[in-house]
């Protein structure tokens, strides 16, 4: 049952990170939730799951390692999962930085707001993972 709750939690974390990335890009446009046009809202229906696939693919290996460490140590509190999300985000930035074929692209990754965006997405994903796995575990095994 732990595997199933971790899998559902990972899916929730991926979608939360994708949602954070989209909200971070819509904010500078000056649009609030009531101002988002129907066209943009319609494209978000496709864009959020697509970016979630990219996030899931990019962060799979660091996330699996972090989940295994958290489960092995029994750290199921909110702070541990947030710090795991931050560590995953830093790892993803490092992986992307080392994979850049051009030095200028690698420097752009480190000098732009990409690091802050990735860190925020990692924190949002860590929080979503904690919320979903905590609720699933509480529903599966009621308090004694």
* CB neighbours of residue 5 within 10 Å: 19
Q: Which residues of 107-135 are buried (b: 16+ CB within 10 A; e: fewer)?
A: eebeeeeeeebbbbbbbbbbbbbbbbbbe
Give the pLDDT of residue 7.
Answer: 93
pTM for the whole structure: 0.85
Please check whether residue 130 is in contact with residue 78, taking contact to mean a CB–CB distance below 8 angstroms.
yes
Give the pLDDT of residue 144.
Answer: 54
Give the pLDDT of residue 13.
Answer: 96
How far apart CA 28 and CA 13 sit, in angstroms, is 24
Give the pLDDT of residue 45.
Answer: 84
Max CA pair span of the chain: 57
Residue ranges, the chain, pLDDT below 50: none
């Amino acid at each position: 049952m732990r595997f199933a709750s971790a899998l559902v939690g990972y899916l929730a974390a991926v979608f939360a990170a994708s949602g954070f990335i989209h909200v971070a890009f819509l904010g500078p446009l000056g649009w609030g939730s009531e101002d988002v046009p129907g066209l943009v809202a319609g494209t978000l229906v496709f864009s959020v799951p697509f970016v979630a696939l990219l996030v899931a693919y990019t962060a799979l290996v660091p996330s699996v390692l972090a989940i295994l460490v958290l489960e092995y140590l029994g750290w199921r509190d909110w702070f541990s999962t947030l710090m795991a999300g931050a560590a995953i985000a830093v790892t993803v930035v490092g992986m992307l930085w080392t994979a850049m074929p051009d030095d200028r692209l690698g420097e752009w990754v480190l000098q732009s707001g990409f690091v802050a965006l990735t860190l925020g997405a990692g924190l949002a994903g860590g929080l979503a993972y904690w919320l979903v796995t905590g609720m699933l575990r509480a529903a599966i095994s009621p308090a004694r």
